[in-house]
Amino acid sequence: MVKNKIKIGIIICDRYRMCAGGKCIRSFQNREGAFSTYKGNTELELVGYTTCGGCPGGNIEYAPEEMVKNGAQVIHLATGLIVGYPPCPYVIYFHDFINAKYGVKVVIGTHPIPQKYYNVHAKLGTWNSSKWKEIIQPILTSEKTRLSYD
């Protein structure tokens, strides 16, 4: 028996606008990456999936409203915003803005970081700061899992 249902919205980086969402949906279904926090008998329902609208995120002002109208209790900012080259410079602002304007929980990340992205960002030192280490923690996972998302 399902204890509760959580409705989720996902916002992806516009540079990946043609993405079919396979990694996000897979991690959503398997409770991997940032979705690993929804353990147990929690049922998840995807109620929205769209892009940020391109830099500097014009769709961030409007898309969450529709997701909330569709029942979204949590909005995930997709892993692509973190692993792209460069990572989205607005991701923290998006997080704070959506939470403040719509009063909904916002999570940075969806699927686990693919190993190929992890390797390059490690060489670049992208995620060396304490803030970045905090941001990537839910999507870092094990090397085995990261490799499975390559």
pLDDT in tens, 76-88: 999 999 999 999 9
The structure tokens listed for 58 are: 């014009």
Read off the pLDDT band of 123 (50, 70, 90): very high
Output the pLDDT for position 140.
95
Domain boundaries, the chain: 4-148
Read off the pLDDT band of 1 (50, 70, 90): low
Domain 4-148, CATH number (from 1.10.3470, 1.10.1740, 3.40.50, 3.30.300): 3.40.50
Give the torsion through C-alpha atoms of 33, 49, 59, 18, to 10 deg: 90
